[in-house]
């Protein structure tokens, strides 16, 4: 993967192309906080009264606490797979102690200043080797006094992800019995307490996937929230339907080279395909798309 950052100029052009944006997630395959223009982007979004969230690996939280608290960021989630320091180091190559200390410092300073935002939670990817660490994540969340909820996902099976996994990562897909155990953890009493007691400063993904009347009526997602109301811009200026579709594999086109109308027409076409029970090529193996067409 090449090392590069989304430019401030591209970010500005993106906001101008979609002036109706209300919620914005700053994330990537790297660490958002190391983009030299990160807080300038936050400031631009703030001026447009956009709610801002981001996902971080947590390694640099301690270095940016004051800027984060001064920036009106609404919600932060720290990505991880486990709270076991040895497993964490093996999987990520970093220090779990540094991440934990950064979270503690951020929450402590937020409390000292009498602030309620950003909310702080976890973005948890569950692996075969860490599925039974989920209860420890719940314990850590509560011990730290976190309030931004825990988003849980398993390893992404979409082709653009699977094709770059090495043998070690590919062995981390959940087996049937592990999926059942994970469902048990996710429906446990403590999991429900964490979800229903979360901060009113909701994360981007909580807003994006907020149940709509049609979803409630069907008892599942009736259509793709990304295609209905979202868009993704990658660091190379490529526009994609969502953050899970990688621009090198498929995109609507390049920012500055494609019109807003062309983008919206392409989104509508993909949504129409899903509505008639067909998973479009860029959405292959997406669990959201599979859920939508199930029993259609």
| Spatial distance between the Cα atoms of 14 and 55, rounded to a whole number of angstroms | 20
Sign of CA dihedral 68, 97, 119, 9: positive
Could you give the percent of the chain with pLDDT greater than 70? 98
Do residues 70 and 39 touch, judged by C-beta distance below 8 A? no
pLDDT tens digit string along 82-119?
Answer: 999 999 999 998 899 999 999 999 999 999 999 999 99
Q: What are phi and psi of 55, to 5 degrees?
A: -110, 130
pLDDT tens digit string along 265-278?
Answer: 999 999 999 999 99
Q: Hey, what are 135's tokens? A: 């209860």
Question: 23-32, 34-43, 68-77, 141-150: which range is least confident on average?
Answer: 23-32
CA atoms within 13 A on the CB side of 107: 21
> Other C-beta atoms within 10 Å of 201: how many?
19
Strand order in the sheet with 51-56: 23-26, 51-56, 75-80, 119-126, 150-154
> Other C-beta atoms within 10 Å of 9: how many?
12
- Residue 2 pLDDT class (50, 70, 90 cuts): low
| Spatial distance between the Cα atoms of 201 and 191, rounded to a whole number of angstroms | 19
CATH of 8-208, one of 3.40.50.2020, 3.20.20.70, 3.10.20.30, 1.20.810.10: 3.20.20.70
- Give the relative orientation of helices 134-144 and 189-196 as an angle to the nearest 10 degrees: 40
Domain with CATH 3.20.20.70 in the chain: 8-208
CA atoms within 13 A on the CB side of 113: 15
For residue 274, give every residue at least 6 positions away whose Cβ sits within 8 Å of its Cβ, in sequence order, or none.
223, 224, 227, 280, 283, 289, 292, 293
Residue 84 sits at the vertex; the CA angle it makes with 78 and 87, to the nearest 5 degrees, is 95
| Spatial distance between the Cα atoms of 264 and 221, rounded to a whole number of angstroms | 21
pLDDT tens digit string along 216-240?
Answer: 999 999 999 999 999 999 999 999 9
Do residues 186 and 152 touch, judged by C-beta distance below 8 A? yes
- Give the relative orientation of helices 8-17 and 38-47 as an angle to the nearest 10 degrees: 20
pTM of the model: 0.93
pLDDT at 295 over 90: no
More confident residue, 248 or 9: 9
For residue 51, list its beta bridge partners. 23
Strand order in the sheet with 253-254: 232-233, 238-240, 253-254
């Amino acid at each position: 993967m090449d090392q590069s950052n989304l430019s401030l100029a591209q970010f500005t052009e993106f906001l101008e192309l979609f002036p109706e944006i209300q919620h914005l997630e700053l994330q990537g395959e790297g660490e958002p906080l190391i983009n030299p223009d990160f807080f300038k982007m936050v400031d631009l979004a703030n001026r447009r009264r956009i709610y801002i969230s981001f996902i971080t690996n947590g390694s640099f939280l301690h270095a940016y606490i004051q800027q984060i608290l001064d920036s009106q960021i609404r919600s932060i989630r720290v990505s991880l797979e486990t709270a076991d320091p040895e497993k964490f180091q093996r999987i990520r190559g970093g220090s779990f102690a540094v991440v934990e200390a950064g979270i503690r410092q951020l929450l402590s300073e937020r409390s000292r200043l009498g602030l309620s935002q950003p909310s702080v939670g976890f973005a948890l990817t569950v692996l075969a080797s860490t599925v039974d660490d989920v209860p420890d994540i719940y314990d850590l969340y509560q011990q730290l006094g976190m309030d931004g909820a825990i988003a849980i996902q398993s390893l992404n099976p979409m082709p653009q992800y699977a094709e770059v996994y090495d043998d070690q990562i590919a062995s981390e897909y959940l087996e049937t019995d592990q999926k059942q155990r994970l469902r048990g953890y996710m429906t446990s009493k403590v999991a429900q307490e964490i979800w229903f007691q979360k901060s009113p400063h909701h994360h981007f993904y909580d807003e994006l996937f907020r149940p709509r009347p049609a979803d409630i009526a069907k008892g599942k997602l009736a259509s793709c929230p990304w295609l209905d109301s979202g868009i993704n811009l990658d660091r190379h200026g490529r526009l994609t339907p969502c953050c899970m579709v990688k621009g090198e594999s498929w995109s609507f086109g390049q920012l500055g080279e494609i019109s807003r109308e062309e983008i919206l027409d392409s989104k509508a076409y993909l949504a129409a395909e899903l509505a008639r029970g067909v998973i479009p090529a860029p959405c292959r193996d997406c669990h959201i798309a599979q859920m939508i067409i199930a029993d259609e």
